[in-house]
Structure 1
Amino acid sequence: YNFVGRILGPRGMTAKQLEEDTGCKIMSGTRRERSNDTEPLHVLIQCEDYEKKAHQKMRNAVEAINQLLHPPVRL
């Protein structure tokens, strides 16, 4: 399943929408070089705000990304 493509979306639009909705910077952990495929896929979420607001924004971003990480059920 293409998790990176699911998070980024067409032309990066899904990631941009996530950033707008959550107020966090979302970066996929893709690698330019495929030689180190042992590194697990990851997503970096950054947020600058007052501590409590930043924690809430981060929780919202994690929840939104987790929803994207479930492959659609094929019937």
Structure 2
Amino acid sequence: MTMDWQGAPASPSSYTVKRILRLEIPVDTFPNFNFVGRLLGPRGNSLKRVEATTGCRVFIRGKGSIKDPDKEEKLRGRPGYEHLNEPLHILIEADLPANIVDMRLRQAQEIIEELLKPVECVDIFKSFKIPKQM
């Protein structure tokens, strides 16, 4: 009699769990702040760094998530673009082992919430007055 041995059963910590977290972007509170640009960073590096650090995927969705407003209007209502009818938001998706998925989601959330805090930029060249020379 032969046994078809597959090995020991997997431990609960090795199960992969998929979780999605949604964060709203306060566009109504700060209408002139460029949240998408702040989240992406130069050449998308800020978002890439969040993904590399946490192992989570980050998606910017909703109205205003596409750079070209005309293109966004054409895509609105098409299959796969239903999110364009919703307010601007972020989806953080983690497909990780059960023992770390919540920690990584929390880590990504903290980083993104920090990026979403509007900062007041002061242009030092505009506020600097050059004295008149005689």
Stretch deviating more after TM superposition (28-37 or 62-71): 28-37
1:16 to 48, 51, 54: 48
Provide TM-score, normalisation by structure 1.
0.83
User: C-alpha distance in 1, partners of 2:90/2:107?
Assistant: 14
Q: Over the residues paired in the alignment, what is the CA RMSD in angstroms?
A: 2.0
Q: Which residue of 2 aligns with 1:4?
A: 36
Secondary structure at the residue paired with 1:43?
strand
How many equivalent residue pairs?
75
Equivalent residue number for residue 72 of structure 2: 33
Q: CA deviation at 1:71?
A: 1.0
In structure 2, the residue matched to 1:50 is: 97
Note if contact 1:22-1:57 (Cα within 8 Å) is conserved in structure 2.
yes
Q: Which moved more, 1:31-40 or 1:45-54?
A: 31-40
Q: Give the strand-richer structure, 1 or 2.
A: 2
SS class of match (2:91): strand
**Per-residue CA shift, 1:41-65, capped at 9, x if unaligned?**
1111111112230111000001100
Unaligned 5+ runs, structure 1: none
